[in-house]
Amino acid sequence: MSVLIDTSTRLLVQGITGRDGSFHAKQMLAYGTKVVAGVTPGKGGQRFEGAVPVFNTVAEAVHETQANTSVIYVPAALAASAIFEAADSGIGLIVCITEGIPVLDMTRVLPFVHERGARLIGPNCPGLISPGKSKVGIIPGNICQPGKIGVVSRSGTLTYEIIHQLSTNGLGQSTCVGIGGDPLIGTNFIHCLTAFEADPGTAAIVMIGEIGGTDEQQAAEFVKESVKKPVVGFIAGQTAPPGRRMGHAGAIISGSSGTAAEKMTALANAGISVMKRPADVVPLLRERL
Amino acid sequence: MNLHEYQARDILRRHGIPVPPGEVATTPGEARASAQRLGGKVVVKAQVHAGGRGKAGGVKLANSAAEAEAHARAILGMTIKGLTVHKVLIAPAATIASESYVGIIVDRASQRPVLMVSPAGGIDIEEVAAKTPERIHRLAVDPRYGLLSHQALGLGFALYGDLNQARAAADIMQKLYQVVYAVGASLAEINPLATTPEGAVQALDAKIVIDDNEVERRPEIAALRDVTAEAREEVAAREAGLTFIKLDGNVGCCVNGAGLAMATMDLVKYYGGEPANFLDIGGSSKAQKVVAALRIMTSDPRVKVILFNIFGGITRGDDVANGIVQATHELSLKVPIVIRLTGTNEGEAMEILTKAGFSALTDMDEAVKQAVARAKGTAA
């Protein structure tokens, strides 16, 4: 089993003819994801890789192909509009890879997505993968293995590092979700923890957080109250100085709030096994499984 | 991106918020002329992207134009939290009857712009929040409708008992809300929002932080960037498309991805070393980016070793390997390089590096341990 995406995922790629969109659409096809449509305004009628029909609008693509999930690779200036369009066209799961969307745009996008009953993952995220079933986004498929560990993370390459540690030690994954490094995101830790807790195919959960905000602290409270499965956690940014954005727009210690130490304490108090370094993930999981 | 106080005051004034006059000076002579034009007592305020200007001696009261000139001479060129002061703001020293706080931030928890007001103005709002949280009033604004009149007036009455002052404050709040969306601010605050003995409500000091993601689509805001007010390496990094933050250690870190970059710094510390910087070379790394990264890191003589930690996803290992080789041709590197590289095109990358006489590891912990040992001079 898995969460959010599986073999019933029918994927639409917004920005399929662009540099990033076309590269990753090929990778997703090669992984076995059912890529049923692409959208690039003005390129309707073409076929991507001779197989995937391209449409001018998301509404048309959904009508013709019954796509139920969309992944967005369009440039930052167009990305908010792409999310509005996907939500307005009945897409249930929208995954926005694009980095650099202004946060004020997101204050308008998020209530709209919510009202349309859609779920947004990201923006500024690597997407998600249910190994052996479906990949939506940019997580390299070759580092993943099917299995029973659920992974949820605010990061990209740090997630790959953790997945790599898991796979090379025989711990496969049910689903890996990158929720994104921006301050305003569509799906948070609690949403993913809820899904993993309910998923019979997930035996344990790895959550990878970082400095900035209070999402990890709220997630820790939630784990204490509502998660029975073992949870192992990591927080990046123990050496980050306050007041500086550490690459991700959301990774910033404001005043004395949002530090790694504060988050690690919150995780530990909730009964989560806290890693000191990425290589601790395997031994800590083995202790709890 | 931070704006200077004088820039923020200009923006507020253009949106109809009452702001007392003020002039910018870059020399003591200009400061004297400004003080003469304004007349009476003036304040000389350092324009620098750092908090705690007052405590650092960057804000002084002058009773005459000559005194303003002397203060400007002392403040211009002074260093506050590592940043040199190049400009001062000269403003009339107002007689203040009361000081309040009005600010708008984009709140992560409610995912909305949140208006915060407090009758305890003039001091650090974080301090007020920590010591007397009941003195801060908050309102999460629905961005579809904006800040409604009755909401603003309600908060106006939280600041002032007088109807005219409450109305004036409400009007300022609604205009400040418009400023946020007009300039792409992630924070806009007026502190203090002051009343004069005659009862007028005015913005005496203003702070605006622009969301970095807004700058590209707003050329008029991009033009306000003052590169002389930013750290030199950070300007060079931004121009090369890198994210770089200087720290105090001696292990230079060059990583792809922000989360992995933070985790690498943390691991350097875990093994007893001190990271010299945060540096994310980004997703699709070109060789030229690696060259720029190496140039920036090695410009600091304290850096004793450069650690590369590359997990190839979108980033191709061979691109980074080519960058390292190219950089060693272009720059005469005096410090050792420790490379950890795995993922996409790992095989090609290893071949490129081996041919050029480098060795690379695939394990992150091993690489960090080696780099720390090199920095301490204890490597075999």
Q: What is the pLDDT of residues A248-260, one digit of tens each?
A: 888 888 877 889 9
| CB environment A224-241: b (16+ within 10 A), e (fewer) | eeebebbbbbbbbbbbbe
Provide, as residue numbers in chain A, all residues whose Cβ is less than 8 Å from the Cβ of B216: 76-77, 100
Residues of chain A neighbouring B314 (CB-CB closer than 8 A): 20, 138
Task: List all residues of chain A from 90 to 149 with a beta carbon under 8 Å from chain B.
Answer: 100-104, 106-108, 110-111, 126, 138-140, 143
CA B311 – CA A75 distance, rounded (Å): 24
Reported ipTM: the value is: 0.94
**Residue A87 dihedral angles phi and psi, to the nearest 5°:** -65, -35
CB contact burial B54-86 (16+ within 10 A = b; e otherwise): eebebbbebeebebbbbbbbbbbebebeebebe
Tell me, yes or no, if A157 comes closer than 8 A to chain B by beta carbon. yes
What is the pLDDT confidence band of residue A19, given thresholds at 50, 70 and 90? confident
Which domains are assigned to chain A?
Answer: 11-121 (3.40.50.720), 139-288 (3.40.50.261)
Q: What is the pLDDT of residue B379?
A: 60
**Of these residues, A114, A164, A191, A248, which one is catalytic?**
A248
This prediction's pTM: 0.93
Lowest mean pLDDT among A71-85, A90-104, B118-132: B118-132
- Percentage of chain A beyond pLDDT 70 is 100
- Kindly list the residues from chain A whose CB atom is less than 8 angstroms away from the CB atom of residue B260: 155-158, 160-161, 236
Which member of A210, A277, A279 has the closest CB to residue B262? A210
Query: Is pLDDT at B163 greater than 70 in this prediction?
Result: yes
Mark yes or no for CB contact A246/B261 under 8 Å. yes
| Residue pair A151/A176 in contact by the 8 Å Cβ criterion | yes
Of A160, A237, A279, the CB nearest to B311: A160
The pLDDT confidence band at residue B234, using thresholds 50, 70 and 90, is: confident
Binary contact (B266, A246; C-beta < 8 A): no
**β-bridge pairing A93-96 and A119-121:** parallel
Rg of chain B, C-alpha, whole Å: 25
Give residue-wise pLDDT tens across range B77-116: 999 887 889 999 999 998 899 999 999 999 999 999 999 9
Are B259 and A158 within 8 A, CB to CB? yes
Instruction: Please give the structure tokens belonging to residue B63.
Output: 């009773």
Which is it for the CA torsion B48, B51, B56, B59, positive or negative?
Answer: positive
CA dist A200 and A196 (Å) reads 8
Q: What angle do CA B86, B88, B92 make, to 5 degrees?
A: 175
The predicted structure's pLDDT at residue A173: 98
Contact between chains at B106 and A107 (C-beta distance less than 8 A): yes
- At A32-73, the pLDDT tens digits run 999 999 999 999 999 999 999 999 999 999 999 999 999 999
How far apart, in Å, are the Cα atoms of B145 and each of A83, B104, B110, B151?
21, 16, 16, 12
Residues of B in Cβ contact (< 8 Å) with A164: 311, 342-343
- If contacts are CB pairs under 8 Å, which of residues 262-291 in chain B contact chain A? 262-263, 265-270, 275, 278, 280, 283-284
Burial readout B2-34 (b: 16 or more C-beta within 10 A, e: otherwise): bbbbbbbbbbbbebebebbebbbbeebebbbbb
CA distance A12 to A87: 13
Among 3.40.50.261, 3.90.1170.50, 3.40.630.30, 3.30.70.260, name the CATH number for the domain at B231-376: 3.40.50.261
Q: Best interface-test mutation with A: which of B230, B278, B285, B346 has the largest number of A CBs within 10 A?
A: B278
Chain A contact probe: residue of B210, B248, B262 with most A CBs at under 10 A: B262
CB contact under 8 A, B113 and A104: yes
Banded model confidence at residue B159, pLDDT cuts 50, 70, 90: very high
Pairing type for strands B243-246 and B251-255 reads unpaired
If contacts are CB pairs under 8 Å, which of residues 167-206 in chain A contact chain B? 181, 183-184
Amino acid residing at A221: E
DSSP B275: B
Residues 6+ apart with CB under 8 A from B175: B12, B15, B16, B17
Q: What is the pLDDT of residue A287?
A: 96
Q: Name the amino acid, one letter, at A142.
A: N
How many beta-carbon contacts under 8 Å exist across A and B? Answer: 164
Q: Regarding beta strands B98-107 and B112-118, do their DSSP bridges make them parallel or antiparallel, or are they unpaired?
A: antiparallel
List for chain A the helix, strand, coil content (%; round to 5).
Answer: 35, 20, 40
Tell me, what's the pLDDT at B285? 63
Distance of CA A77 to the CA centre of its chain: 21
List the Cα angle A145/A74/B236 in 5-degree steps. Answer: 90
Buried b (16+ CB within 10 A) or exposed e, B125-153: beebbeeeeeebeebebebeeebeeebbb
pLDDT at B314: 73
Mutant choice from A239, A246, A257, A259 vs B, greatest count of B C-beta within 10 A: A239
Model confidence pLDDT, tens digit, residues A144-186: 999 999 999 999 999 999 999 999 999 999 999 999 999 999 9
pLDDT at B380 over 60: no
Band of the pLDDT at A132, cuts 50, 70, 90? very high
Distance of CA A106 to the CA centre of its chain: 17
Residue B191 CA: distances (Å) to CA of A194, B9, B115, B194, B202:
42, 11, 13, 8, 10
Catalytic, A114? Answer no
CATH number of B98-222: 3.30.470.20
CB contact under 8 A, B266 and A139: no
Dihedral (C-alpha) B269, B270, B272, B274: value to the nearest 10 degrees?
-10
> What is the residue extent of each domain of chain B?
21-92, 98-222, 231-376
Mean pLDDT of the region A82-109: 97
What is the distance in angstroms between the Cα of B65 and the nearest Cα belonging to chain A? 37
Which residues of chain B from 205 to 264 reach within 8 Å of chain A, CB to CB? 211-214, 216-217, 243, 245, 247, 255-263
B79 touches chain A (CB under 8 A): no
Supply φ then ψ for residue B204, to 5 degrees.
-90, -35
Kindly list the residues from chain A whose CB atom is less than 8 angstroms away from the CB atom of residue B127: none
All residues of chain B having their beta carbon less than 8 Å from the beta carbon of residue A183 are 106, 108
pLDDT at B80: 87
Question: Coil, strand, or helix at residue B25?
Answer: strand
Rg for chain A (alpha carbons), in Å?
A: 18
Measure B29 CA to nearest chain A CA, in Å. 35
Model pLDDT, residue B286? 74
Task: List C-alpha distances in Å: B41 to A89, B34, B48, B61.
Answer: 63, 12, 22, 7
- Taking all residues of chain B, what is their mean pLDDT, rounded to a whole number? 92
Q: Which of B108, B275, B278 sits opposite A247 (nearest CB)?
A: B278
Look at the domain B21-92 and name its fold: Dna Ligase; domain 1 (3.30.1490)
Is the Cβ–Cβ distance between B140 and B114 less than 8 Å?
Answer: yes
For residue B283, the model assigns a pLDDT of: 64
Q: What is the pLDDT of residue B179?
A: 98
The 3-state DSSP class for residue A140 equals: coil
Which residue did the predictor score with more confidence, B344 or B283? B344
Minimum distance, in Å, between the CA of residue A158 and any CA atom of chain B: 4
